[in-house]
Structure 1
Amino acid sequence: MGRGLILALILVVLLGGRWAAGFAIEYEWWHEMGQVETWIQMLSYGSVPVIGAGLLAFLTFWVAHARGMKHAGTGMREHPVYAKLATLAALLLGTLVAVSTVDSWTVVRWFGGHGLNSGAWRDPVFGHPLSFYFFDLPFLGVILHYLLTVTVVAALAHWLTARGWSLKDQLPEWNPQEGIKVDLAGFSLRGALDSGFLRGLGVFFLLAWAGKFYLDRYDLLLDDHGSLVGVDWVAENLTLPLLWLNIGGALIAAAGILMRKPKTLFLLVATYIVLAVAPMAVTAVYVRPSEITIQKPYIKRHIEATRSAYGLGAHVKEIDFAAKLEAPIDISKHRQLLDNVRLWDWRAFHDTVTQIQALRPYYVFHDSDVDRYQIDGQLRQVLVTPREIDVTQLPGDARARWINPHFIYTHGYGMVVAEAARITKEGLPLLLVQDAPAVVKTPSLKLTRPELYYGEVSHEPVFVHTKQPEFNYPSGAGNVETRYEGKGGFPISSIPMRLAAALSTGDWNILLTSYLAPESRMMIRRKVRERLEAMAGFVVWDADPYLVITKEGRLTWMVDGYTTSDAHPYSKIFDLGDVGRINYIRNSVKATVDAYDGSVNLYAFGDSDPLLQAYEHLFPKLFKPWSAMPEELKAHARYPELIFRLQAEVYRTYHMTNPEAFFNKEDQWDIARNLNGPSGKPEPVSPTYVVATLPGSDEPEFMLMTTFTPRNKDNLIGVMVARCDGGALGELQFLQLSKQELIFGPMQIEARISQDQNISKDLTLWNQQGSQVLRGQMLVLPVENTLLYIEPIYIQASEARMPQLKKVVVAMGNRLIYTDTYEQALSELTGSAVQPAQGKGQATTTESGKPPAQGAATQDAASRLKDEIQAHLKRYKELMAQGQFAEAGKEIEALDRLARQR
């Protein structure tokens, strides 16, 4: 017994010590973030509702037990030891009931969001605003569930106590021959209503059950009927009145229990049966035969609510785009647009950069992102990929040494930046930022803090300001070292903090190491998403952080955050995988994380979002207004791909606002398809960040785009665009094409590429002898009143994933141009000479990789004309030899246009 007690005490000390250590580390981390007050609020919000509910349940169970003993003719004072055990049991039972029935965050959100002005939207049946369904209704549901559970458990506790103590007095004396005979009749329910306390619990239970029927009315707003979600004709005209009938039945049954007339419960059962059977019968007999006529107004409600819930109401423009199959393009007018065409698919870029810029096996490029910068005074689309360290890729011996991942290999270094529209003569990306130490090839960018202590691949913990210098980057056969100069991390040098860190991580080397100095600091939660989830886990954080270079040369991660719900009335539910099943979403938060010191800022972006408003009330120091974000970071804010994909999925059906068309799915769309996926088979196109112009505007801007085709067809029917720049950030535009005129979709252009004799011959040849062809994502760009299609084609060796841009396909209408360079293709398409001017289009480079001088880059106009004529003549002869007379005629037309222009 003594040994067991000692072991139990040791176990308690160890568990308690680890909990205390974790608590100390958490405090230091929140102090580092400057959000200790927010942390305390989170702890209290997560525990106070459960503690309060547990104490109330404990008191109820204790009273129920005491009244049960009294009903049996005894009392707690007569059995002091039993009374202590019963009190402990009631406390444990109360805690269990509170934990299992009370969702603390539902309660807390009610306090934060109750009474908010949640906009003009109100449900058309009950007239409540969104805040009622996001906060009030879930809170009432939790309270009701809790009360029903407590009532049932208290009734059982009272009845079992009373019957148990009554039975105890009836037990016969012990007889060795006969044993003990127990009269199980003592546990029958007869006489249950003799107890006033039990009758009171029964009445309370039935009143709460009536409340459940009352709240069930609101569940009708989320019912999925197939053709619509929400209250339909049967629900409004039959189910709602029957629910009131059930409420009346529950109230009558409660009165019957109070008057000791339990047979009134049969009335409640009867009304429940009617509620279960009648709506189904009326639906089958009356609604189904004339469904569209009867359900028409309810379908309209469903369409409007779904569009609103997914952000397809306000800030949305639907434009009739009278696109022509072919139209002349003024190159000078659209110079900036055409010079920003992205020739590098991000996948090909990522594979190429991994080969030419990794520098060491332990450097990784986890992801490549598309962004825009002002380069040489003009808006330029760029590809950015950070260079991070993956310590699992260190050589075996180096990985095994504890000091390496914790003290030496603490951070990544720099990134690779390339203009999306420029290539070298070898078909590789033209890099603006490269190498280590970082080489920046444009005065428009600078990099003063290239170290990445916080990122997407970061490991932890690491220790900085130590006696051991840190690896910074490789240099020849050696390495360049550095020492951290920032404020990231928290102090770790004291013995108590080292002990706490050792206990919390289970790593005693932290306590024993001699490398820590008085100013040493410990960094944890270095992965960007983990850092944000720890700080604001109630926000859904995007899986794709992207890195931004500030004007001061620091690196900052930007991450989009979402507020979601599954409680929006009438709205269709979609499953977003890790996010869950939702029927409401807003991109209400944008976060920044400094890659050097880990400082975090959360900016409230959705002023009209009731969920965000509630969190701002609950955590007043956590969020900053959108206006407080520095302008240099606002310039890199973008519309997130996750919500864009979801909105595209919603819009392809819910662009039909006519109830009859929606019911019959007469005009349902699909996401357009192309062939650039790894499978080589047709796949839905991925949303693409592009620099393009919108109809009616000559100013290129950064936007996210995708395309639609009619259901089971491949011709284009619509273009979806999300604007990203300035005050237009968050605005959606839908370009709806004419149904009477055929406009080619991406898959149809892909088919024409595959069927072209010259192209297919090249693709077949390159896909042999140890090489592989990669087809980049096709860009579909609106230019004035037509659409331009551009697809880069890459070739890579089978043994090394380093794609090189080999060919470019440009198409418009029935014209398909296939050339070595984008400029050549554009020149053939428009009949105008396209000059790869310095800083624009495809770049020409010297052997050192640097752009040549301006005089060397500019060719004589006559020389350019001669080259173009020779190219057209060569192409004409090839096509004539292959019997492609129609295509050869187009080359003659191109020559004719050149002659007229000259």
Structure 2
Amino acid sequence: MRNSSDLPPNGPGGPGLRIPQFNKPSRGRILVSVVIGAVLLVLFFARGLSTFYVNVLWFDALDRGDVYWGILRSKVELAAIFSLGCFVFLWVNLLIADKIAPLTLPNTPEDQTVMRIREATAKSRGKLRIALAALIGLMLGLPAASQWQDWLMFRHREPFSVGEPLFQANVGFYVFRLPFAQFVVSWAFGALVLVTIIATAFHFINGSIRPQDRVQRVTPQAKVHLSVLLAGGTLLRAADYWLSKYELTSSTRGVVRGALYTDVNAQLPALNLMILVSLAVTALLMWNIRQRGWRLPVLGMGLWVVVALVAGTVYPAVIQRFVVQPNVSTREIPFIQRNIEATKAAMGIDNVERISTTFERVTAEDINADNAPLRDVRQLDPVQMRERFALDEGRSSFYRVTDLDVDRYSIDGRMQQVLVAARELNTDGIPNRTWVSRHLIYTHGCGVIAAPASVVTDDGRPSYIDLKVTRPEIYFGDGLSGYAVVNTSQNEQACPGVASSTYEANGGIQVNSFTRRVALAINFGEFNLFGSNLITSESEIMLVRDVRDRVKKIAPFLHFDADPYPVVINGQVKWIIDAFTTSNRYPYAETA
């Protein structure tokens, strides 16, 4: 060993060899890093807060704040309930696993490793339990918010006036209660499986589970704990089998929807058997607490798997193949009749009145005496005419025709079929694509193009008519994206034949405060929304301008038709979209 005095100058390597020096970062660098991190964090949360605030303003502007807050409240309730429930359940089980851990372990290498881990984490054990339980609770609880609609239907359930023939249960049970009940059971089973795995890992770390010990691999206390958890899992499986019985009324195994011969005579008995087997395994797990080993519960679970495979899968498949398929016409008739009756009731056509009538021969004189229906026969196909309408009436690159619809209007005192298309804004065709042009000047489409469906010109073209549109501006459309700011000090592009165009309704967010302008600028990442002097306290910003997106956001619980269509009412262009309350949970009924 050489003394330090014997070392050559500048280090052991002699002259020219330098030992690298690692300097601590200066306070200035640390301060800069902290500031940058803080700014990024603020921007991240600012974007989320601005989006939330803009959504609140948008719903309030449409007088639909109750929808937004109602849905948000339901999501928060679900996330809080399931997260807190999972947190408490996991924390209690981790606490139990720590409390029943053996105080001392044999002096083996494996056990000494366990003891070192326990000693290293002794002071932070409580914090570790809380942190792990909180993390898992959030991971499992937050996704539950997506079930808000089933939760609201469960809370506000109402009975139907009719039941179903298999279990005699009210149809309202299937529509309002069953979906959320199935989710709760499924979620609880998944959470219990994860908690059991984590608890087992804690028992291993604590030394309560010692695979290397041939005499006692699991301590009696850990055995009780894990047996109770496993018994809870088998009880939840029994509950799942019980709910699955009701799902048979929506089975798609056979020729029609609903519980058919195989479901009633094979699958249903199998599910009842599986419920009994699950309860039996639960009893075995609890009884085995006072017994040595795990042989009996393992045999019970093995039998459970075999019964599930044979009775739940193989037996119904055999019945379907060799009993039902060769005799479908006789085996399935009673169940098909149930399907027909349920479908008629679900569609509201179970009380249709039938009227028999006879037809007489129609003569030319009869036709001439009443030829109004013939005069209204459609000669123009809306699919083929869409391109023709676009070519004839597009006028400018910043207008477009996206669809052609058939409606009825009074023309010359007679109701006639009319082809109608909205002349919508084409954002891709806007000239001079500055921010002002795209969002302040070219803000709307203009009017409609219309022609009687039963009239053509000599050269086969549509005979266009005027539907007396006095306010042609169209600020919302079919597929219209982006935002527009109206009522600014910048004049909007006027529609043909109109001196000026201004927005006079209440479909936008008023930009009348400093806070709103900041929130909008952050939300869209556009400084002009804050800094432009063209925006005044009277200005409004139009968001969600696609008709379908707009109604889906306002009423997400409705099912909408895919084709909105424009109509002219009192000189204004309005959009109509058909909406329905629907459910695919009506037992035995076919779905549309």
CA RMSD of superposed structures (Å): 3.1
Residues 812-861 of structure 1 show CA distances to partners (whole Å, capped at 9, x for unaligned) of: xxxxxxxxxxxxxxxxxxxxxxxxxxxxxxxxxxxxxxxxxxxxxxxxxx
Equivalent residue runs for 1:755-766 within 5 Å: none
CA distance in 2, matches of 1:471, 1:106: 42
Task: Indicate which of 353, 367, 374 corresponds to 1:331.
Answer: 367
Q: Would you say 1:526 and 2:552 are equivalent positions?
A: no
Equivalent residue runs for 1:191-202 within 5 Å: 191=219, 194-202=222-230
Equivalent residue runs for 1:389-788 within 5 Å: 389-395=425-431, 398-399=432-433, 401-433=434-466, 446-474=468-496, 480-550=499-569, 552-572=570-590, 583=591
Deviates more, 1:316-325 or 1:262-271: 316-325
Change (3 A) 1:353 1:240: closer
**Contact map agreement 2:78 2:144 (CA 8 A) in 1:** no
User: Which residue identity lines up with residue 124 of structure 1 in the other structure?
Assistant: P
Deviates more, 1:221-230 or 1:74-83: 74-83
**Matched residue, 1:588:** none
**Contact map agreement 1:340 1:381 (CA 8 A) in 2:** yes
CA distance in 2, matches of 1:382, 1:76: 84
CA distance in 1, matches of 2:359, 2:373: 18
**Contact map agreement 1:167 1:186 (CA 8 A) in 2:** no
User: Cα offset for 1:532?
Assistant: 0.7
**Matched residue, 2:167:** 126
The share of aligned pairs that are identical, in percent, is 27
Equivalent residue runs for 1:221-300 within 5 Å: 221-260=249-288, 261-262=296-297, 263-275=299-311, 276-300=313-337
TM-score w.r.t. length of structure 2? 0.83
User: Cα offset for 1:255?
Assistant: 1.3
CA distance in 1, matches of 2:152, 2:215: 44
Task: Indicate which of 203, 218, 231 corresponds to 1:162.
Answer: 203
Equivalent residue runs for 1:857-872 within 5 Å: none
Change (3 A) 1:87 1:312: same
Change (3 A) 1:385 1:78: closer
Change (3 A) 1:297 1:76: farther
**Contact map agreement 1:77 1:83 (CA 8 A) in 2:** no
**Matched residue, 2:115:** none
User: Cα offset for 1:195?
Assistant: 3.7
Change (3 A) 1:107 1:326: closer
**Contact map agreement 1:123 1:129 (CA 8 A) in 2:** yes
Task: Indicate which of 159, 168, 180 corresponds to 1:117.
Answer: 159
User: Cα offset for 1:484?
Assistant: 2.9
Change (3 A) 1:189 1:31: farther
SS at match of 1:423: coil
Change (3 A) 1:28 1:186: farther
User: Cα offset for 1:188?
Assistant: 9.6
**Contact map agreement 1:65 1:158 (CA 8 A) in 2:** yes
User: Cα offset for 1:331?
Assistant: 2.8
Task: Indicate which of 389, 408, 423 corresponds to 1:372.
Answer: 408
SS at match of 2:418: strand
Change (3 A) 1:33 1:21: same
CA distance in 1, matches of 2:577, 2:340: 31
User: Cα offset for 1:125?
Assistant: 0.4
CA distance in 2, matches of 1:570, 1:251: 30
CA distance in 2, matches of 1:23, 1:358: 39
Change (3 A) 1:342 1:495: same
User: Cα offset for 1:317?
Assistant: 6.2
Change (3 A) 1:69 1:499: same
Residues 865-892 of structure 1 show CA distances to partners (whole Å, capped at 9, x for unaligned) of: xxxxxxxxxxxxxxxxxxxxxxxxxxxx
User: Which residue identity lines up with residue 465 of structure 1 in the other structure?
Assistant: N
User: Cα offset for 1:313?
Assistant: 2.7
CA distance in 1, matches of 2:446, 2:560: 25
SS at match of 2:452: strand
Deviates more, 1:512-521 or 1:559-568: 559-568
SS at match of 1:556: strand
CA distance in 1, matches of 2:529, 2:145: 40
Q: Would you say 1:62 and 2:91 are equivalent positions?
A: yes
CA distance in 2, matches of 1:143, 1:523: 40
**Contact map agreement 2:100 2:221 (CA 8 A) in 1:** no
**Structure 2 regions of 5+ residues with no counterpart?**
1-24, 104-117, 289-295
User: Cα offset for 1:571?
Assistant: 3.5
CA distance in 2, matches of 1:61, 1:238: 39
User: Which residue identity lines up with residue 523 of structure 2 in the other structure?
Assistant: S
CA distance in 1, matches of 2:427, 2:138: 45
User: Cα offset for 1:12?
Assistant: 1.8
**Contact map agreement 2:404 2:419 (CA 8 A) in 1:** yes
CA distance in 2, matches of 1:329, 1:71: 100
**Contact map agreement 2:440 2:484 (CA 8 A) in 1:** yes
TM-score w.r.t. length of structure 1? 0.56
Change (3 A) 1:493 1:103: closer
SS at match of 1:555: strand
User: Which residue identity lines up with residue 405 of structure 2 in the other structure?
Assistant: D
**Contact map agreement 2:208 2:218 (CA 8 A) in 1:** no
User: Cα offset for 1:146?
Assistant: 1.7
Q: Would you say 1:138 and 2:183 are equivalent positions?
A: no
CA distance in 2, matches of 1:277, 1:566: 28
**Contact map agreement 1:253 1:267 (CA 8 A) in 2:** no
SS at match of 2:464: strand
Change (3 A) 1:314 1:283: closer
User: Which residue identity lines up with residue 495 of structure 1 in the other structure?
Assistant: F
Residues 764-806 of structure 1 show CA distances to partners (whole Å, capped at 9, x for unaligned) of: xxxxxxxxxxxxxxxxxxxxxxxxxxxxxxxxxxxxxxxxxxx
User: Which residue identity lines up with residue 480 of structure 2 in the other structure?
Assistant: S
CA distance in 2, matches of 1:36, 1:557: 22
User: Cα offset for 1:329?
Assistant: 6.0
SS at match of 1:460: coil
**Matched residue, 2:424:** 388
CA distance in 2, matches of 1:484, 1:285: 70
CA distance in 2, matches of 1:448, 1:340: 27
CA distance in 2, matches of 1:34, 1:393: 33
**Contact map agreement 1:64 1:157 (CA 8 A) in 2:** no
SS at match of 2:494: strand
